[in-house]
Structure 1
Amino acid sequence: MSNHTLSSMTADKVVEETKAGGKQAHGTANYPDPLIHIDKNVWDVVIIGSGPAGLMLASSLARFGGHDVLVVDERSEPTTAGRADGIQPRTIEVLRNMEPLGSEFVARSAASYERTFWDPRSDGIRGIERTRRVQSFPTNMEIQDNCTLGLQQGMIEGGYLRDMERHGQRVTRPWGFRDFKMTGDKDHPVSVTLEKMKPVLETTNDGGAPISVIKPTGELKTIRTKYLVGCDGGRSAVRKVMENRHGVEFNGDWVDTLWAALDCVVETDFPDVRKIAAIHSKNHGALYIFPRENNERGQPIIRCYTQVNRLQGEKSKESALEVRDKVTADMVMKAIREIAYPYQFDFKVIEWFTCYPIGQRLVSRYSLPAGQEDGVAFPGHHVFLAGDACHTHSPKAGQGMNTAIIDAQALAWRINLVEKGLADAETLLPTYHDERHATGKQLIEFDAEYSALFSGEIPKSQPEVANMTDEQKRHHFIEIQRRNAAFTTGAGVVYADNVLNHRDPRKLGVSKVSSSRLEPGVRLQPAWATRWVSSTPVRIIHEIQFTAPGGFRIYVLAGDLEKNMAKLRQLADHLSGPQSFLNRFRPNAKAHKLAEGAYHRKPEVLNTGLGQGLSEEANPFFHLLLIVKRNRFKLELEEIRELGPLRPMLYADDVEPCGERRSNEDGDEHVGGLHSKWGLEDGGIVVCRPDGYVGCVLPLDHQGGNGMEKYFDGFLRSSLGPARL
Structure 2
Amino acid sequence: MSTMESAVEHVDVLVVGGGPVGLITAYQLAKNLPSPHRVKIIEKYPKSAQDNYGRAITLYPRSTEMLDQLGLADSLAQQCFACRQTVNYDRHGNEVPGRGWSFMENMKDTTWDFALVLRQKYQEEIFRQAMKRHGVELAAPFALVNIEILDNVGPNGYKVLATLEHGVTKAKSTVKCKYLVGADGGRSFVRRAMNIPFDGASSEDKWVRVDGVIETDLPKPRTYCAIESPTHGNVLWAALDHGATRIGYAFTAERQKAYKEFDEAAAVKEAIASVKPFSLSFKQVDWWTIYAVGQRIARSFLVNDCVFLAGDACHTHSSGAAQGMNTGMHDSVNLGWKLSLVLQGLAKPDLLQTYEAERLPNVHKLINYDKDISRLMTMQLPENWNGDPNADPNEILGTVMAEAATFSSGLGIYYEPDSSLNLVQSAGLSSVQPGQRAPDCSLQKPATFEPTRLQAVTPNLAKFYIVLFAGDVAVTKEALARFTSAVASLQWLFGAELPISWISIFSGPGGASAYETLGGMPHGKVFYDENHSAHQRYGIDVNKGAVFVLRPDGWVGTVTELGQGAGHALETYFKRFLVIDGHAKL
Q: Same fold (TM over 0.5)?
A: yes
What is the CA deviation profile of residues 460-507 of structure 1, one whole-angstrom value per residue up to 9, with x for unaligned ones?
232x3561333xx332111111110111111111111223444632xx
In structure 2, give the amino acid aligned to 1:537. Answer: P
Where does residue 537 of structure 1 map in the other structure? 451
Distance 1:139 1:132, change over 3 A: closer
What is the CA deviation profile of residues 101-139 of structure 1, one whole-angstrom value per residue up to 9, with x for unaligned ones?
211111211121122222223xxxxxx322126754364
Distance 1:576 1:534, change over 3 A: farther
Separation in structure 1 between the aligned mates of residue 526 and residue 336 of structure 2, nearest angstrom: 28
Where does residue 192 of structure 1 map in the other structure? 162
Where does residue 704 of structure 1 map in the other structure? 566
Where does residue 437 of structure 2 map in the other structure? 523
Distance 1:465 1:236, change over 3 A: farther
Alignment of 1:573-722 (within 5 A): 573-578=485-490, 580-583=492-495, 587=497, 621-633=499-511, 635-640=513-518, 642-643=520-521, 646-654=522-530, 670=531, 672-681=532-541, 682-720=544-582
Where does residue 394 of structure 1 map in the other structure? 318
Partner SS state of residue 329, structure 2? helix
Where does residue 74 of structure 1 map in the other structure? 44
1:233 to 168, 185, 190: 185
In structure 2, give the amino acid aligned to 1:73. Answer: E
Alignment of 1:183-582 (within 5 A): 183-184=150-151, 185-186=153-154, 187-198=157-168, 217-243=169-195, 248-294=196-242, 300-309=243-252, 314=254, 316=256, 326-368=261-303, 380-426=304-350, 428-462=351-385, 464=386, 467-470=389-392, 473-502=393-422, 504-505=424-425, 510=426, 512-514=427-429, 516-547=430-461, 550-578=462-490, 580-582=492-494
Separation in structure 2 between the aligned mates of residue 177 and residue 717 of structure 1, nearest angstrom: 34
Distance 1:465 1:582, change over 3 A: same
Partner SS state of residue 130, structure 1? coil
Q: How far did residue 580 of structure 1 move?
A: 4.6
Separation in structure 2 between the aligned mates of residue 173 and residue 715 of structure 1, nearest angstrom: 36
Partner SS state of residue 468, structure 1? coil
Q: How far did residue 636 of structure 1 move?
A: 3.6
In structure 2, give the amino acid aligned to 1:232. Answer: D
Distance 1:460 1:92, change over 3 A: same
Is 1:157 paired with 2:157?
Answer: no
Greater C-alpha radius of gyration: 1
Where does residue 17 of structure 1 map in the other structure? none
Q: How many residues align?
A: 568
Separation in structure 1 between the aligned mates of residue 490 and residue 419 of structure 2, nearest angstrom: 24
The answer to whether the 8 A contact 1:253-1:361 is kept is yes
Separation in structure 1 between the aligned mates of residue 17 and residue 316 of structure 2, nearest angstrom: 16
Separation in structure 2 between the aligned mates of residue 636 and residue 503 of structure 1, nearest angstrom: 31
What is the CA deviation profile of residues 267-292 of structure 1, one whole-angstrom value per residue up to 9, with x for unaligned ones?
11011221111112223434201111
Separation in structure 2 between the aligned mates of residue 440 and residue 157 of structure 1, nearest angstrom: 23
Where does residue 97 of structure 2 map in the other structure? 132
Partner SS state of residue 137, structure 1? helix
Partner SS state of residue 302, structure 2? coil
Q: How far did residue 171 of structure 1 move?
A: 1.1
The answer to whether the 8 A contact 1:533-1:650 is kept is no
Is 1:61 paired with 2:29?
Answer: yes
Separation in structure 1 between the aligned mates of residue 528 and residue 566 of structure 2, nearest angstrom: 21
Separation in structure 2 between the aligned mates of residue 179 and residue 534 of structure 1, nearest angstrom: 57
Separation in structure 2 between the aligned mates of residue 533 and residue 366 of structure 1, nearest angstrom: 48
The answer to whether the 8 A contact 1:138-1:485 is kept is no
In structure 1, give the amino acid aligned to 2:185. Answer: G
Q: How far did residue 226 of structure 1 move?
A: 0.3
What is the CA deviation profile of residues 214-239 of structure 1, one whole-angstrom value per residue up to 9, with x for unaligned ones?
xxx33111221100000100000000
In structure 1, give the amino acid aligned to 2:440. Answer: P
The answer to whether the 8 A contact 1:308-1:331 is kept is no
Structure 1 gaps of 5+ residues are 1-37, 122-127, 199-216, 295-299, 369-379, 588-618, 655-669
Partner SS state of residue 650, structure 1? strand
Separation in structure 2 between the aligned mates of residue 465 and residue 52 of structure 1, nearest angstrom: 40
The answer to whether the 8 A contact 2:317-2:367 is kept is yes
Q: How far did residue 339 of structure 1 move?
A: 2.3
Where does residue 83 of structure 1 map in the other structure? 55
Partner SS state of residue 360, structure 1? strand
In structure 1, give the amino acid aligned to 2:251. Answer: V
The answer to whether the 8 A contact 1:141-1:486 is kept is no
Distance 1:637 1:545, change over 3 A: same
Distance 1:469 1:565, change over 3 A: closer
Over aligned residues, Cα RMSD in angstroms?
2.3
Where does residue 15 of structure 1 map in the other structure? none
Where does residue 110 of structure 1 map in the other structure? 81
Distance 1:284 1:690, change over 3 A: closer
Distance 1:270 1:226, change over 3 A: same
Where does residue 664 of structure 1 map in the other structure? none
Q: How far did residue 634 of structure 1 move?
A: 5.7
The answer to whether the 8 A contact 2:210-2:271 is kept is no
Where does residue 3 of structure 2 map in the other structure? none
The answer to whether the 8 A contact 1:361-1:391 is kept is yes
Is 1:47 paired with 2:19?
Answer: no
Separation in structure 2 between the aligned mates of residue 173 and residue 630 of structure 1, nearest angstrom: 54
Q: How far did residue 628 of structure 1 move?
A: 0.8
Distance 1:326 1:458, change over 3 A: farther
Separation in structure 2 between the aligned mates of residue 533 and residue 135 of structure 1, nearest angstrom: 43
Q: How far did residue 254 of structure 1 move?
A: 2.1
The answer to whether the 8 A contact 2:187-2:313 is kept is yes
Distance 1:711 1:89, change over 3 A: same
Separation in structure 1 between the aligned mates of residue 508 and residue 30 of structure 2, nearest angstrom: 39
In structure 2, give the amino acid aligned to 1:71. Answer: I
Structure 2 gaps of 5+ residues are 1-5
Q: How far did residue 541 of structure 1 move?
A: 1.7
Identity %: 27
Separation in structure 2 between the aligned mates of residue 453 and residue 649 of structure 1, nearest angstrom: 50
What is the CA deviation profile of residues 61-86 of structure 1, one whole-angstrom value per residue up to 9, with x for unaligned ones?
11113231011111222434211111
Partner SS state of residue 213, structure 2? strand
Partner SS state of residue 356, structure 1? strand
Partner SS state of residue 248, structure 2? strand
The answer to whether the 8 A contact 2:201-2:294 is kept is yes
Partner SS state of residue 542, structure 1? coil
What is the CA deviation profile of residues 247-304 of structure 1, one whole-angstrom value per residue up to 9, with x for unaligned ones?
x21011223111111111111101122111111222343420111111xxxxx10011
The answer to whether the 8 A contact 2:486-2:563 is kept is no
Distance 1:436 1:429, change over 3 A: same
